[in-house]
Chain A
Amino acid sequence: MNDPVSGIALGMVIVGLALSTFITRTSFLIAGARLRLGHRVEVALRFAPVCTLAAIIVPDILLHGPNATLDLSLLNPRLIGALATGLWLCWSRNIFGCLAAGMAAYSLARLYL
């Protein structure tokens, strides 16, 4: 096995990556703070959470394996877990209940399906 990667070059990479997080996360909070975005954009940004979350969640649940194949079947443990969380959410907003229900369903599905 190769020696673990370390050293000054890696330190610079880490600082560079930290900057990439910092720059993107603070972009409009610092550099763009004075920009006037206009009413239309402000309205559009209200939908930012729901749309980005959907774009993160759905592929994570439905795409499987090394080739990222689409799995819409009810044998997909991640789909079962997400559905269980969704059902729990219908009668309780308690996030821990949702997580417990989802993880229980997901784990059972992985063990037995």
Chain B
Amino acid sequence: MISGVAMVKGGLAVPWAILMSLLVYAGSAQLAALPLIVAGAPLAVIVATGLITNLRFVIYSAALRPYFAQLSLHKRARLGFFMTDFTFALFMRTAQEGKLPEQNRDAWFAGVCTNNWLTWQVFALTGIVAASYVPTDWGLEFTGTLALVALVGPSLVTRPALLGAVVAAVVALLAHALPFKLGLFVGAIAGIVAATLTDAWQQRSPPASAASA
């Protein structure tokens, strides 16, 4: 919703704001591009901003690749386009817990993504249409953050994951002043490296009981 309200209050005409919401479907990139659009920045600069803001999706798509490698190009493209932070994390957790049979993983993911897309668009369109009436400080968008909290919590039980999350959070905090949400990307990379190193170190020196087995 915040993206919808912001687009219209930022000065986009309503039909174009709706088109942007439907086609771009990336809240953080839309918010980052908005001031550039309003200021009349060159197309290349705006698109580059979108690309950098969306960099984390490259990591997501690499992580999803092994699960969907056998699908047709058309299906992979569709699943990729509708993937978001939330649906990616939900899919990875469910798949890693072994709860998804191989033959209908893609259908499950498509369903989750469709729901997420519809919900997001309903709120974004509400924001666009009601921009002048909706107070922006209801704080409803915080639900999105809380959903991510609920999603990440159960994964924090292993040492590599916990350490990776702490490193990612600290680096993201330190680097938050970087433009284009790069702090997020840098933090994520640092966390992944820390988690992988911890994991490798644990494999090399397994607990005593495992070593004797």
Q: Do A and B come from one complex?
A: yes
Q: Knowing A21-B29, A44-B192, say if A52 contacts B85 (CB, 8 Å).
A: yes
Please measure, in the bound complex, the distance between the C-alpha atom of A32 and the C-alpha atom of B62, giving whole angstroms.
8
User: Does B122 touch A at the CB level, under 8 Å?
Assistant: no
- Give A50 to B182 CA distance when docked, in angstroms: 17
A6 to B17 Cα, complex, angstroms: 9
In the complex, the answer to whether B173 meets A59 with C-beta atoms within 8 Å is yes
By a CB distance below 8 angstroms, the chain A residues around B14 are 4
B179 interface residue (CB < 8 Å to A): no
Whether B176 contacts A85 by the Cβ 8 Å rule is no
What 0/1 pattern do residues 68 to 86 of B give for CB contact below 8 A with A? 1100010011011101010
Check A50/B152 contact, CB under 8 A, given A30-B73, A32-B65, A59-B173: yes
Write the chain A residue with the least CB distance to B78.
Answer: A26
Contact with B along A83-113 (1 / 0, CB 8 A): 0011001000101001100110011001000
Size category, B interface: 35 or more
Which listed residue (B16, B88, B146, B173) contacts A70, Cβ 8 A? B173
Would A10 and B16 count as touching, CB distance under 8 A?
yes
The distance from the CB of A11 to the nearest CB of chain B, in whole angstroms, is: 7
With a cutoff of 8 Å between Cβ atoms, the chain B residues found around residue A40 in the complex are 196
Contacts of A99 in B (CB 8 A): 143, 146-147, 150
Q: Let me know if A10 and B169 touch, CB within 8 A.
A: no
* Given the contacts A13-B46, A53-B151, A24 and B51 also touching, CB distance less than 8 Å: yes
- Which A residues touch B196, using CB under 8 A? 40, 43-44, 47
Would you give the 0/1 interface string for A15-46, flagging 1 where the beta carbon is closer than 8 Å to chain B?
11111111111111110110001001111111
Chain B interface, DSSP helix/strand/loop, else mixed: helix
Interface string of B1-14 (1 = CB under 8 A from A): 00000000001111
Residue of B nearest to A26 (CB): B80
A88 nearest CB neighbor, chain B only? B150
B20 contacts A14, CB within 8 Å?
yes
Size category of the binding interface on chain A: 35 or more
B 44-73 to A, binary, CB cutoff 8 A, 1 in contact else 0: 001100110111111111111110110001
Check if B54 sits within 8 Å of A6, measured CB to CB: no
Contact of A5 among B38, B92, B160 (CB under 8 A): B38
Q: Counting CB contacts under 8 A, is A66 at the interface? A: no
Is there contact, CB below 8 Å, between A86 and B145? no
Q: Are A25 and B80 in contact (CB under 8 A)?
A: yes
Contact A29 B161 (CB under 8 A): no
In the complex, which residues of chain A have a beta carbon less than 8 angstroms from the beta carbon of B127?
none
Check if A56 sits within 8 Å of B30, measured CB to CB.
Answer: no
The 17 listed contacts between A and B (C-beta, < 8 Å) are A4-B12, A15-B23, A17-B33, A26-B77, A28-B65, A45-B192, A47-B196, A49-B151, A50-B156, A52-B56, A53-B152, A57-B149, A58-B173, A78-B145, A81-B146, A102-B149, A106-B139
Beyond A25-B60, A40-B196, A62-B173, list 9 extra A-B contacts (CB 8 Å). Answer: A14-B16, A42-B66, A50-B161, A52-B188, A68-B176, A81-B142, A82-B145, A86-B153, A106-B139
